[in-house]
């Protein structure tokens, strides 16, 4: 078991291997489909417009060496204007495969958290950066929310609560490395093994 503090240095990322259990502490951001699409269209593939410069600078500073969490949280809104996470389970990551490599490279991300794994483009980005894919336990949304100690703020709340960019501070956030910076992916291994077993069962 490893304990790492965000932002994570490159040497720590390179030392991680698939199967490693890690507890993360520090600031990160949630982001799903709408957030990734927005970042691609407004920050990465097109020139940043004046109205977006402030947010772009904020996210560049926040995400440099940090991680994005594929999460659609359940959030409690308090009378004093603050927020807290009631549930914070991971969402399926493969939906972001079309965006993730560019987002990782642009923001110098060192990790992505989600469930189900990602594809070859993200794995290549993990080797380039370096970065890793962290798998969070599905079905444990309330338990994971206990690791979210503070909701710092939110961007693009107009996308809706699950799709907004929530900035959070976590302590001992539990994850497992399932794609590392050396090109290894548990998800690819499982897929290959399953295909081999299926072929044997089918008499192929």
DSSP string, 60-81: HHHHTT-EEE-B--EEEEPTTS
Domain range spanning residue 153? 2-201
Task: Report how far Cα 123 is from the mean position of its chain's Cα atoms.
Answer: 13
CA dihedral sign, ordered 89, 58, 26, 78: negative
Mean pLDDT of 93-98: 97
Q: Is the pLDDT of residue 33 over 70?
A: yes
CA distance 191 to 123: 15
Total count of domains within the chain: 1
Give residue 187's pLDDT. Answer: 67
Q: For residue range 143-169, list pLDDT tens digits in order.
A: 899 999 999 999 999 999 999 999 999
Q: Has residue 201 got a pLDDT over 60?
A: no
- Quick one: average pLDDT of 92-101? 97
pLDDT over 90 (residue 118): yes
Say yes or no to pLDDT of 193 above 60: no
Q: Decide if pLDDT at 199 tops 70.
A: no
Residue 200 confidence class, pLDDT cut points 50, 70, 90: low
Q: Which residues are catalytic?
A: 36
CATH of the domain at 152: 3.20.130.10
């Amino acid at each position: 078991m490893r304990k790492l503090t965000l932002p994570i240095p490159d040497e720590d990322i390179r030392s991680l291997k698939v199967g490693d259990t890690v507890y993360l502490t520090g600031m990160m951001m949630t982001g799903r489909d709408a957030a990734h699409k927005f970042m691609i269209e407004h920050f990465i593939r097109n020139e940043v417009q004046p109205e977006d410069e402030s947010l772009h600078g904020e996210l560049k500073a926040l995400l440099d060496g940090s991680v994005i969490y594929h999460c659609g949280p359940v959030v409690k809104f308090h009378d004093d204007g603050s927020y807290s996470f009631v549930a914070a389970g991971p969402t399926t990551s493969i939906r972001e495969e079309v965006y993730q490599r560019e987002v990782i490279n642009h923001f110098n991300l060192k990790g992505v958290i989600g469930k189900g794994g990602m594809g070859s483009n993200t794995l290549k980005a993990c080797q380039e950066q370096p970065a890793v894919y962290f798998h969070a336990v599905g079905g444990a949304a309330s338990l994971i929310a206990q690791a979210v100690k503070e909701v710092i703020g939110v961007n693009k709340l107009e996308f809706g609560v699950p799709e907004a960019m929530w900035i959070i501070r976590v302590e001992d956030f539990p994850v497992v490395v399932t794609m590392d910076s050396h090109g290894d992916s548990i998800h690819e291994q499982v897929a290959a093994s399953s295909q081999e077993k299926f072929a044997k069962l089918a008499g192929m």
